Structure 1
Amino acid sequence: MMYKRWIMLVSGKVQGVYYRASTEDVARRLHLTGYAKNLPDGRVEIVAEGLQEDLQALKDWCEEGPPAARVTRVDVAEAPASEEFREFRIKN
Structure 2
Amino acid sequence: MNRCRLQIFYEGRVQGVGFRYSVKSIASGFEVTGTVKNLADGRVELVAEGTKDELNAFQHAIRESELGHFIQNEDVEWGEPWGNIRGFEIAK
- TM-score scaled by structure 1? 0.90
Cα distance in 1, alignment partners of residues 16 and 64 from structure 2: 15
Aligned to 1:91: 91
Deviations 1:27-68 (A, max 9, x none): 121021010000011110000000111111122133355359
Q: Unaligned 5+ residue runs, structure 1?
A: none
Aligned to 1:42: 42
Cα distance in 1, alignment partners of residues 17 and 65 from structure 2: 9
**Equivalent pairs, count:** 92
Cα distance in 1, alignment partners of residues 86 and 16 from structure 2: 26
Aligned to 2:16: 16
Aligned to 1:60: 60
User: Which SS does the other structure have where 1:30 is aligned?
Assistant: coil
Q: Unaligned 5+ residue runs, structure 2?
A: none
Cα distance in 2, alignment partners of residues 13 and 65 from structure 1: 15
Cα RMSD after superposing both structures: 1.6
Q: Structure 1 residues 64, 41: CA separation in 2 closer, same or farther (over 3 Å shift)? A: farther
- TM-score scaled by structure 2? 0.90
8 Å contact kept, 2:26–2:62: no
Report sequence identity in percent. Answer: 35
